[in-house]
Amino acid sequence: MRFDIVTLYPDMLHPCFSQGVLLGAQEKGLLAIHLHDLRAFSPDPRGIVDDRPFGGGAGMVMRPEPFFRAVDALSREIGTRPYVILLSPQGVRFDQALAKELARKGAVALLCGRYEGVDERVAELADLELSIGDYVLAGGELPAAVVVEATARMVPGVVGRHASAATDSFYSGPLLGYPQYTRPRSFRGLRVPEVLVSGDHERIRRWRLRQAWRKTLQHRPDLLGLRLERHHQDTKSRRHPR
Ligand code: SAM
């Protein structure tokens, strides 16, 4: 699978993709991640990519032409038009189901905004406007990294034998993942549940399923269609309700 990220700050993203699972997947040829400097696509010889908003208002808006030229250039380079995503807090909310869907596209291009945002015509260029949550960041780079990493993990072979996407939260439905433990068995009075060291695989399987339900009910009842109350309470007070 191929990702192309068009951004004003390619150097900011390089470290995200040059270690760990994503580096391994690129080395195995399962992924190709290309970073592109938006200024290279500016029709302006000085590489200007923003301007004042029509109608007045604070801040600068990113001009549309560099994004259109970038998608044209990528389509020529790849030999087909990539699936184009505009990162925006106004987009549809990214989730695991969408990550799985994107992982089936051969090539995805991600367009990162900055400043006050992007000229609305870029939304018409995009196949999808995508948000990573209901908050506003300074730019689309961190959202792009989130989308690439979550999507790449859904590409067969990317997550190796040291981890399994299939037991992750959200993977096969609305349940959160079950609690995990490793050595030591006892630490500062905190003990690993006895069932996990019992060697009884059927008991462990049932315990994990029950725990996944318990965690989901406790932390994210909304995933089960229940009302989410007290969701700003910290984890500790949820675990030990007063
Ligand atoms: N004025 C815009 C608004 O109110 O919707 C916000 C612009 S934001 C400061 C600049 C850029 O950051 C956006 O164009 C987008 O690319 C990116 N961005 C910020 N928050 C985001 C989010 N939650 N999800 C995806 N992209 C986001």
Instruction: Give, for ligand 1, the residue of 92, 95, 136 to mutate: max count of ligand atoms closer than 8 Å to Cβ.
Output: 136
Give per-residue pLDDT as tens, 124-167.
999 999 999 999 999 999 999 999 999 999 999 999 765 678 77
Among 33, 171, 147, smallest CA distance to 87 is for 147
User: Do you know the residue count of the chain?
Assistant: 242
Do the beta carbons of residue 61 and residue 50 sit within 8 Å? Answer: yes
Residue of 137, 146, 147 best suited for mutating to test ligand 1, as the one with most atoms within 8 Å of CB: 137
Contact status, residue 109 vs residue 6, Cβ threshold 8 Å: yes
Is 116 in the active site? yes
- Evaluate: CB of 139 within 6 angstroms of ligand 1: yes
Token readout for 85 is 């995503």
Give the pLDDT score at 241: 42
Exposed (0-12), middle (13-18) or buried (19+): which is 131, by Cβ within 10 Å?
middle
The pLDDT value recorded for residue 173 is 84
- Is 153 labeled as catalytic in the residue annotation? yes
- Beta bridge partners, 83, equal 108
- The structure's pTM equals 0.93
- For ligand 1, the distance from its centroid to the CA atom of residue 130, given in whole angstroms, is 10
The CA 6 to ligand 1 mean position distance, Å, reads 15
Write out residues in the chain with pLDDT < 50, as ranges: 240-242
How far, in Å, from the CA of 225 to the mean position of ligand 1?
29
The pLDDT of residue 134: 98
Question: What domains does the chain contain, in order, with CATH numbers?
Answer: 2-152 (3.40.1280.10), 174-239 (1.10.1270.20)
Q: What per-residue confidence (pLDDT) applies to 227?
A: 77
Does the Cβ of 132 fall within 6 Å of ligand 1?
Answer: yes
Task: Tell me what pLDDT residue 160 has.
Answer: 79
